Amino acid sequence: MFGFLKKDSTPSGADKDSSWTARLKSGLSRTRAQWGGKLGSLFSRARIDDDLLEDLEATLLMADCGVDATTWLLDELKQRVKQNRLQTPAELRAALIELLRGLLAPLERPIDFAAHKPFIVMIAGVNGAGKTTSIGKLAKRFQQDGKSVLLAAGDTFRAAASEQLQEWGRRNDVPVISQESGDSAAVVFDAISAARARNIDVVLADTAGRLPTQLHLMEEIAKVRRVVQKADSSGPHEVILVLDANIGQNAITQVQAFDKAIGVTGLIITKLDGTAKGGVLAAIARQCPKPVRFIGVGEGIDDLQPFCAADFVDALFDQ
């Protein structure tokens, strides 16, 4: 259960960047096989024609780019073929890469911690999305960046979630606020009070997993947000929704539902290494463009990294 707590040797500088690039490429191998692999065969054809464009459309849809993003990409490509007089599939490939980078670039926005202390981050998501594990990885990352961190074990429905955070806290000297009984809102309120008293930089508040269709639970998480605002009128300063990349187009529904309930300000996309549906980021960019703060491509601490649009697209197409 606590595999992500193992102490890793952390490379630095260029070695660290190179290591992440390699893990990202490896982690996106299934999407690349679905997307880049099939696109590779398309772009090796002799010329740009209607058949190539139709097959390109089908490939993008199969990679879960969604109808909206796929239509936009195809329209833009056709326009460039005419305006720039593109003649070879290789030129079309370069244009697609450029378009995808531009489409995803607005999602690449890091969190700005400067304005608030404690900086309160509320974490939400459905069961099994990787929410609690992501909190542990975030806490380690923020510690490495020189920030003090406090965890709020606000998932009071699942005992294992609290145990996981408690174990992480013990091994890494991070305080964890929890209650054996009580509701999530009370735990988060106590955590904010404790963080203020201890001069903590960042509060990471876990919440119980829930489906958007569970209306009573969605109202409960909205209550947690209201209680955060009572504890700190400026908070929460970040509301992160954790999405399992395997759900593909269902991610759009989740973002919209959680955004309506709690005002989502950023996303973490997990388990990209286990899916061929990495194209869902294009769908998010077109239909619900929330910043993608981090992406996950593995179980290790360093497998959760800030999202970089150019690196992501390059990893999809790099053979």
Residue-level pLDDT at 38: 67
Domains of the chain by residue range: 26-107, 119-308
Inter-CA distances, 56 with 44, 84, 311, Å: 12, 19, 22
113-158 confidence digits (pLDDT tens): 999 999 999 999 998 898 888 998 999 999 999 999 999 999 887 7
Q: Can you give the pTM of this predicted structure? A: 0.90
Kindly give the residue spans of alpha helices, DSSP state H, lying in 85-158. Answer: 89-104, 131-144
* Number of neighbouring beta carbons within 10 Å of residue 14: 8
Reported in sequence order, the residue ranges of 49-111 that DSSP labels E, i.e. its strands, are: none
Q: What kind of fold does domain 119-308 have according to CATH?
A: Rossmann fold (3.40.50)
CATH number of 26-107: 1.20.120.140
Residue-level pLDDT at 35: 63
Residue-level pLDDT at 158: 76
Distance from C-alpha of 298 to C-alpha of 61, rounded to nearest angstrom = 25
Domains 26-107 and 119-308 share a fold: no
Q: Which residues of the chain have pLDDT under 70?
A: 1-18, 34-39, 181, 319
